[in-house]
Structure 1
Amino acid sequence: MFENFDDILNVDDVAKALKIGTSQAYKLVRSGKIQAFKEGRAWKIAKQALINYIMNQQ
């Protein structure tokens, strides 16, 4: 599904994958709708967490 992306994504990658703005991607991550963790100041998102989010939206 997202073969061109690494296994660990950042918020910009999530925004590109979902074709949404970066602000909206941050909202999804901060709200916990997409599981993520912080490494320093940067959010990290497993590609599988993004896939799970999409599958739960259907």
Structure 2
Amino acid sequence: MYNDRTDLITIDELCEILMIGKNTAYSLLKSGAIKSFKINRVWKIPRVSVDEYIKKQAQIN
């Protein structure tokens, strides 16, 4: 699924992985659907959280 396995991804990378817009991405982060945190004003998203979200959504659908 990924070529480069880094621990944290950016909001732009999240949008690319999930093929969603930034507004949807921010909504997922703010609601806690994807576990993340902020350092100053920058969202940091653990890649593991994205994997868990995808698996969870696959089970629901």
Same fold (TM over 0.5): yes
Deviations 1:16-41 (A, max 9, x none): 10001011101000100000000110
Q: Provide structure 1 residue ranges, at least 5 long, that are not aligned to the other structure.
A: none
Of structures 1 and 2, the larger Rg is shown by 2
Paired residue total: 58
Cα distance in 2 between the residues matched to 1:48 and 1:39: 18
Root-mean-square deviation (Å): 1.2
Q: Provide structure 2 residue ranges, at least 5 long, that are not aligned to the other structure.
A: none
Which has a greater percent of helix?
Answer: 2
TM-score, with normalisation over the residues of structure 2? 0.86
TM-score, with normalisation over the residues of structure 1? 0.90
Q: State the 4+ residue runs in structure 1 displaced beyond 6 angstroms.
A: none
> Offset of 1:45 from its aligned partner?
0.4
Mapping for residues 1-58 of structure 1, pairs under 5 Å: 1-4=1-4, 6-58=6-58
